[in-house]
A and B are shown apart, each in its own frame.
Chain A
Amino acid sequence: MRIRMRATARLTAALAALSLAAACGGTSGGAAQNGPTEITFWSWTKGSAEVVDAFNAAHTDVKVKFEQIPAGPSGGYTKFSTALKAGNAPDVMNIEYPVLPDYVSQGNLVDLTQRVADVRDRFPEQIRSLYELGGKTWALPMDITPMAFYYRKDFFDANGIAVPTTWDEYRAAAAKVKQVDPKARIGTLFTDEPQFLAAFAWQAGGKWFDTSGGAWNVSLDDPATRKVADYWQGLVDDDLVNVPVGPAWNASVKAGETVGYVGASWGAQVVLRANQPEQAGKWAAAPVPHWGTPAGGMFGGSTFAVSANSKKVDASVKFIRWMTTDEKAVTTRIGVAKSTMYPAATDLVPAAAKSFDPAFFGGQNVYDVFAESAKTVKPGWTWGPGMLSTFSTLKDGLGQLTSGRKLSDSITAANRSTVDELRKRGLNVGS
C-alpha cells in the first residue's frame, strides 16, 4: 500500500515538473542565420497588413511578421509601453507625431540619422521638425494629414448653402443649416478628441511647445489657441454644432443630423467611407475653413520607428524606408486597402491620387483638396514630450463641456498640469 503510494507520488512529481519545464521552455529560438531576417511590426494604420504582404512578396532577405493592434490612444500605446518595459517590443513601431517626442525622451527608439540621411530630402521641410528632435532623426514619416471640410453635397445643394471658405463663413453656414433643418448641424465639437483643438490652434498660428533656450516653453493658452477656443465655445453655446460622442456621432451622421465633418485626410476612409457606405455619392470635400489666409494644421499622422529593443536594426530600417518611399507601398495602401492617407514623400503623391477610388465622393478626387491643404501646413510646430498625459487632461476637461466647463478653462488647466508633469520628470521647463 505504502509502496504504491510512493510510486504514485513520484509519478505526480514527474508530471508536475515536466509541465513546468514545458511552460518555461520559452518560445523564441535564435533567428535562423541562413534564411531571411525576420522582423516584427505592430501597427493599426489602415492597409498595414496589405503593405506587409506586398513587402514580403517583393523581398527575399527580410520577412516581416505583422500584428494588428488597437489604435494608439485606444490601447495601442499601452501595448507598446508594456512591451518596451518588458524588453520584447517589436522591431518596427507605428508612432504618431504627437507621441514621438515622448518615446524619444524615454529612450525607447534607435537614432536613425546616419541610416536615412539619403532620403531626407524626399519629405517636405515643413514637417521635419516633427520627427527630427534634438538634432537627430528618430523616425520616418508615413503621411501628412492635411485637414479638409467634408460635407453632404446633396444637403448643401438642395438648400442653397454656400460651402464656407473662412471660419466666419462657417459660422454663417452653420446658422443656415440649423435654420433649414432644426435637427441638422454643420459639424461637431468632438469632446473626446482633444487633438482637434491642437490642429486648429496650429492652423491659427499657435505654438504649444517650443524648445528655444534649451528648455521646454509650454503655452497651450497662447492668443491663437484662445481665439480658436472662444470661436468653438461660441458655436457650442449657440447650439450651432453638436457634441455627440463615439457611436452616437455615427448614428447622427446616418440620420442626417450631422451634415459636415472637419477632419484629416485619413478621415475620408476611416471615419466616413467605412462607417457610412450607404451615403456613397452624397459627400464632397472642400479645403478646411481658415482665418483669412489659407493655412493648415495637421491632425494625427504616423511615423515608423525602430525600437531600442531591436536586434535587427538594418532590416528594420530597410522595411521602414520601403514603406515610406516606395511607390508600391503607397499604391497598395490606397488602391488595395482603400486607405486615404496622404503620403509624406512628395514624389509619391501623384501615385496616391491615381490609386484613389472617388465613387464615395461623387467622382471628386479628394487628393486635389488634400494637396492644396498640405501646401499650407504651417511649419515649426513642435509636440511636447508628454502629449499622452496632456491630451488626457484636456480630454477630461472637454468631458465637462456639457456641464458648463468652458473650453478656455480646460486649456488653462491642461497647461498647468503639463508644466507640473514635465517638471516632475526632471526636464528643463521655461517659465
Chain B
Amino acid sequence: MARSSQKRTERGAAAMLLGPFMVLFVATLVVPIGYAVYLSLFTERSSGLGFGGTETLFAGLGNYLHALSDPAFRDGFWVIVGYLVGYVPVMVGGALLLALLLDSTLARAKRFFQLTLYLPHAVPGLIAAIIWLYLYTPGLSPVVSAMRDSGLSWNFLSSDHALSSVVNIAVWEWIGYNVVIFYAALQAIPREVIEAASVDGAGELRTALSIKLPMIRAAVVMTVMFTIIGALQLFTEPVILNGANPAVSATWTPNMYAYDAAFRKSDYGLAAAASILLALAAAALSFVVTRVSQRRTA
C-alpha cells in the first residue's frame, strides 16, 4: 500500500518535471514537422492568366517527385558532398591536432588558448558570415589587398572558389567547439595508461597517435556525425554570400532550395517536401555513420 502510493508520487513528480519539456517539445518540434508533412502533400494551382487567385489541390507525392527531379535540388546535395569532403577532414583533423597539442606536456598557457580557440564559436553564425564577407571583398578587405600586393590573386568570391570560402568560414566557427570536446575526452583518459606508455619509452608523438587517439574514438565519431548533420543543413553562410555576390546561387544548398521555393516561388508544398527529404537524408547518413563505427568497435 505504502509502496504503490510512493510510486504514484514519484510518477507524479516525474510527470511534473518532464511536463514543461514535453509541452515545448511537442509544440516546437512535433507540431511543425507534422504541419510540414501536411503542407508537402498539397499544391496551389492557378488557371488562365492567374488573376483569379489560386486553389489548393491534393498533390500526394507530386511535390516530392518534383523536388527529386529538379537538377537544382540534386546539385545542392553535390555541393554538400564537396563541402563535406573539404570540411570534415580539415575541421576534425585540425581540432584533433589542437586538442592533442593542448593536452601534451609541452603546452603552456592552456587556459588562454582554450578560451581564444573557443571565442569564434561565440560569434553568431550570421555575424561571422558578414565579417568574412567583408574580409573576402576586394576594395574593403585588408587581407585581399595584402595578397594583391604580394602578387597572389585569389578571388574568394568567384564561383570556383565559393566552396572553399564557405568551408573556411565554417572551420573558423566550429574548430574551437570541437577542440573543447576532444580536450575533455582526452582528460578522461586515465593517467595510469599515459604513465605506463611513457615508462615503456613512448615519446609524445607515439603516445598521441597510438594511445590517446584510439581511446577518444567515441568522441571523434560523435563529432563527425554531428558535423555531417550540421553540414547537410548549411544555410547561413551561403545565404550571406549570395546576398552580396551572386557567385553562390540562390539554390546552392538543399536548405537554400527550400527557402527559395517558399519565399520566391511562393510554393510552400515544394519547400516542405524539400525539407522533409533533407531531414530523411540526414537521418539516413547518421544511421550509416553509427553503424559503421559500431562495426569497427565490435
Q: What is the CA–CA distance of A248 and B136 in the complex, to the nearest angstrom?
A: 10
Task: Assess whether A402 is in contact with B139, with CB atoms less than 8 Å apart.
Answer: no
* Any B CB within 8 A of the CB of A20: yes
Interface-side segment among B16-24, B216-224, B282-290 = B16-24
Q: How far is the CB of A429 from chain B (nearest CB, A)?
A: 10
Residues of B with C-beta under 8 A to A105? 46, 49-51, 53-54
* Any B CB within 8 A of the CB of A104: yes
Q: Given A9, A385, A395, which contacts B12 in the complex, CB threshold below 8 Å?
A: A9
Task: Assess whether B263 is in contact with A81, with CB atoms less than 8 Å apart.
Answer: yes
Q: Given B47, B139, B243, which contacts A426 in the complex, CB threshold below 8 Å?
A: B47
Task: Assess whether B244 is in contact with A395, with CB atoms less than 8 Å apart.
Answer: no
* Any A CB within 8 A of the CB of B81: no
Task: Assess whether A398 is in contact with B23, with CB atoms less than 8 Å apart.
Answer: no
* Any A CB within 8 A of the CB of B168: no
B215-243 near A? 1/0 per residue, CB < 8 Å: 00000000000000000000000000001
Task: Assess whether B13 is in contact with A245, with CB atoms less than 8 Å apart.
Answer: no
* Any B CB within 8 A of the CB of A368: no
Q: Given A102, A251, A392, which contacts B250 in the complex, CB threshold below 8 Å?
A: A392
* Any A CB within 8 A of the CB of B118: no
Q: How far is the CB of B25 from chain A (nearest CB, A)?
A: 14
Task: Assess whether B137 is in contact with A216, with CB atoms less than 8 Å apart.
Answer: no
- Residues A389 and B264 in contact in the complex (CB < 8 Å), given A191-B246, A399-B248: yes
Residues of B with C-beta under 8 A to A196? none
Residues of B with C-beta under 8 A to A216? 49-50
> For chain A residues 1-23, which have a beta carbon within 8 Å of chain B?
2, 5-6, 9, 12-13, 16, 20
Q: What is the CA–CA distance of A421 and B267 in the complex, to the nearest angstrom?
A: 10
Residues of B with C-beta under 8 A to A255? 139
State how many residues of chain A have any CB contact under 8 Å with chain B.
55
Residues of B with C-beta under 8 A to A399? 159, 245-249
Q: What is the CA–CA distance of A9 and B10 in the complex, to the nearest angstrom?
A: 11
Q: How far is the CB of B119 from chain A (nearest CB, A)?
A: 25
Residues of B with C-beta under 8 A to A252? 139
* Any B CB within 8 A of the CB of A222: no
* Any B CB within 8 A of the CB of A270: no
Q: How far is the CB of A413 from chain B (nearest CB, A)?
A: 12
* Any B CB within 8 A of the CB of A214: yes
* Any A CB within 8 A of the CB of B260: yes
Task: Assess whether A134 is in contact with B49, with CB atoms less than 8 Å apart.
Answer: yes
> For chain B residues 19-33, which have a beta carbon within 8 Å of chain A?
19-20, 23
Task: Assess whether A211 is in contact with B158, with CB atoms less than 8 Å apart.
Answer: no
> What is the chain A residue whose CB lies nearest that of B19?
A16
Task: Assess whether A400 is in contact with B159, with CB atoms less than 8 Å apart.
Answer: yes
* Any A CB within 8 A of the CB of B94: no
Residues of B with C-beta under 8 A to A107? 52-54
Q: How far is the CB of A219 from chain B (nearest CB, A)?
A: 16
Q: How far is the CB of A364 from chain B (nearest CB, A)?
A: 29
Task: Assess whether A248 is in contact with B49, with CB atoms less than 8 Å apart.
Answer: no
Task: Assess whether B49 is in contact with A214, with CB atoms less than 8 Å apart.
Answer: yes
By secondary structure, the A interface counts as helix
Q: What is the CA–CA distance of A16 and B248 in the complex, to the nearest angstrom?
A: 46
Q: How far is the CB of A247 from chain B (nearest CB, A)?
A: 6
Residues of B with C-beta under 8 A to A246? 137, 243-245
Q: What bracket does the count of chain B residues touching chain A fall in? A: 35 or more
* Any B CB within 8 A of the CB of A388: yes
Residues of B with C-beta under 8 A to A402? 155, 158-159, 247
Task: Assess whether B46 is in contact with A20, with CB atoms less than 8 Å apart.
Answer: no
* Any B CB within 8 A of the CB of A179: no
Residues of A with C-beta under 8 A to B250? 392, 395-396
Q: What is the CA–CA distance of A333 and B137 in the complex, to the nearest angstrom?
A: 34
A403-427 near B? 1/0 per residue, CB < 8 Å: 1000000000000000001001111
> What is the chain A residue whose CB lies nearest that of B268?
A85
* Any B CB within 8 A of the CB of A386: yes
> What is the chain A residue whose CB lies nearest that of B51?
A134
> What is the chain A residue whose CB lies nearest that of B45?
A426
Task: Assess whether A192 is in contact with B47, with CB atoms less than 8 Å apart.
Answer: no
* Any B CB within 8 A of the CB of A68: no
Q: What is the CA–CA distance of A105 and B49 in the complex, to the nearest angstrom?
A: 8
Task: Assess whether B266 is in contact with A102, with CB atoms less than 8 Å apart.
Answer: yes
* Any B CB within 8 A of the CB of A431: no
Residues of B with C-beta under 8 A to A133? 51
* Any A CB within 8 A of the CB of B140: yes
> For chain B residues 47-65, which have a beta carbon within 8 Å of chain A?
47-54
Residues of A with C-beta under 8 A to B12? 6, 9
A205-241 near B? 1/0 per residue, CB < 8 Å: 0000001001110000000000000000000000000
> For chain A residues 28-85, which have a beta carbon within 8 Å of chain B?
74, 77-78, 81-82, 85
> What is the chain B residue whose CB lies nearest that of A255?
B139
A245-274 near B? 1/0 per residue, CB < 8 Å: 111100110010000000000000000000
Top-6 shortest CB links A-B: A399-B246, A107-B53, A134-B51, A105-B50, A426-B45, A251-B139
19 more CB-based (< 8 A) A-B contacts, given A400-B159, A428-B48: A2-B5, A6-B9, A6-B12, A82-B263, A106-B266, A107-B52, A136-B51, A214-B48, A244-B139, A246-B137, A392-B264, A395-B250, A396-B249, A399-B249, A402-B247, A403-B160, A425-B54, A426-B46, A427-B50
Q: Which residues of B contact A (CB under 8 A)?
A: 5-6, 9, 12-13, 16, 19-20, 23, 44-54, 66, 134, 137-140, 155, 157-160, 243-251, 260, 262-266, 268
A–B pairs, 5, beta carbons within 8 Å: A5-B9, A246-B137, A252-B139, A386-B265, A403-B160
